[in-house]
Structure 1
Amino acid sequence: MHVPDGFINAPVSAVAGIVAAGAVAVSLRGARRELGGERTAPLAGLVAAFIFAVQMLNFPVAAGTSGHLLGGALAAILVGPYTGVLCIAVVLLMQGVLFADGGLTALGVNITVMGVVTTVVAYALFRGLTRALPRTRRSTTTASFVAALVSVPAAAAVFTLIYAIGGTTDVPVGKVLTAMVGVHVLIGIGEAVITALTVGAVLAVRPDLVHGARGLAAPLKLRVGGELVDAPAAAPAPTPVAARSTRKVWATGLVAALLLAGFVSFYASASPDGLEKVAADKGIDRKVQEHDAAGSPLADYGVKDIGNARISGGLAGVIGVGVTVAVGSGVFWAVRRSRTPDAPVPRTAESV
């Protein structure tokens, strides 16, 4: 759903840029609380790189139409909603500047739609579901599935609203809304599957690293005199340093991202994604503009002057993952370092 230049007029794009900048500023403050542990900054950078890689894997959803992960739900559940917004913003910035994917004047629109809307909607629904459901890993995974599913058509609806206000073509908004929400419900199913599988995998290995699963374990109950009471809390056993380390998780995640972007992406669907298909069918793209970075050496996810499509695309994906994890980790490290000295550091499994 990367909006190119020319879909939305300049005044509305500017307003969307201001909204996105405000959301990023708020997220920078909120992320200082979420990035409490020493190892959380590189993990957040890894999440951004993993989302970048998975977004390269377009999957078919209907005849002649594909979809890809938006990632807001996944980022919010894994590293927190504020950090999640920053993760998506970093990914969109890298895609726009290096790969000519998503217009530069439309960057504010893309961050608002793909980053802010998906993250806020998904995390609000996720928290509501986890409070209502039993506090188990299965319930957490189910909640992540539902939250991711709903976040995608919600983003499509917000894009339609922005188009209704500042679209550059005269197309009936009702038709755009029906088409956008309809196809993105299908894309949302793929988003939900990817999100649930990823969250479930991390929960199975290191539940302490899933922001949305903090406090997952319910207190042990004992039946005393016919009534259920909380069992006395046992003294926590010292956790070995090796058990607290996130190096294996980080390395495994990075290798997975590199394989997805460098190899699996070659087999992704070549069909236009949901927005591209709707834009072509409804005429939204009549005034689309060439990307300012169209001449970039990595434009369109290929390395310039390399004729072999497999090698060119794979190398571009690997470079993208490397740059995103480096930039993301640097941003999150700087955010964490900017904590005020008297700010309380949340107690997590990494800090106890």
Structure 2
Amino acid sequence: MKILVTGSNGFIGKNLIAELKNRGYKEIFEYGRETEEECLDKYCKEADFVFHLAGVNRPKQQSEFMEGNYGLTTTLLDTLKKHKNTSPVMISSSTQSERDNPYGESKKAAENILVEYSKETGAKVLIYRFPNVFGKWSKPNYNSAVATFCYNIAHELPIQVNDTSVIMNLVYIDDVLNELINAMEGKGNKVDEFYEVARVHTITLGEIVDLIYSFKKSRGNILVPDMSDPFIKKLYSTYLSFLPEDKFSYELKMNVDNRGSFTEFIKTRDRGQVSVNISKPGITKGNHWHHTKNEKFLVVSGKGVIRFRKVDTEEVIEYSVSGDKMEVVDIPTGYTHNIENLGNEDMVTIMWANEPFDQDRPDTYYLKV
């Protein structure tokens, strides 16, 4: 299948082309602002499906709305008609097409000419009225408020929010891509006369801003966002795509003494926390037990032994551990336990606890194994 994508250098276009290639589509005609005009003639002659994503969002002059949204659509359809190519045409419109503003009017005009084109030629047309689209590769101060907020907060620039109560309807780029490719394959989500992305996220502007600021703070408090929430998961991925390239990494606080070190890596509100423990040769750590807190130990480097003793018995249980064998050891409640490095090099242990450490309620009681 030969696929024409207009607006190939734009936010949705770049993502769509990347995903089409991921799925094995090889003959993709990319038409963007820098493409020579005569290429459009060749592409319209050969295309089996057209994704018309080119358009204007924020021009310098209002007249450019109609030129970029209606005018280019007219050129595209006229070229398809010239070659008697009635392949399906998908157009990226907007929920603003019903509003009385230059942008909405230009989108509505493009929709109308596409409908007339379908009546005249019999070609299938698929009109998508997208709400705000967010995700990686979007442009700040152009594509969406989400892109602007993510960019500015990641780069420590100020943001301006006039009304935090404004309700936003958003669709995520991956959901958009899935829908568009489904539509090309004959499985589009048609609702009445238009096509829609099924999953729309509704949230206030203020909530979006608060979330993005919490993402920035998470490097300090090492608290991972709630990835069980689909919108938070998608927004966090979007935020990370705007990190400055010299700020991908961040330091953690290492608690170091003559025994080695202990470093908290990540915390969650409902899935506990993960830490990295380094023990020097011959060192034993632990000798405590918990009422409710439970842990999992995974030695990834070095070798040692984990010992257990039920608090009301004298029997000691031993588990040999080594970085040569990826084996998780559960630390049950009610058992005092320790871990000893039996090797000649540092022993590195990944430790998970079912709850973040609470200094006021540590649930940790000293008792030698």
Query: The TM-score by the shorter chain falls in which range?
Result: under 0.3
TM-score (norm 1): 0.25
Q: TM-score, normalised by structure 2?
A: 0.24
More helix by share: 1
Structure number with higher strand proportion: 2
Q: Which has the larger radius of gyration?
A: 2
Highest RCO, 1 vs 2 (Cα 8 Å, sep ≥ 6)? 1
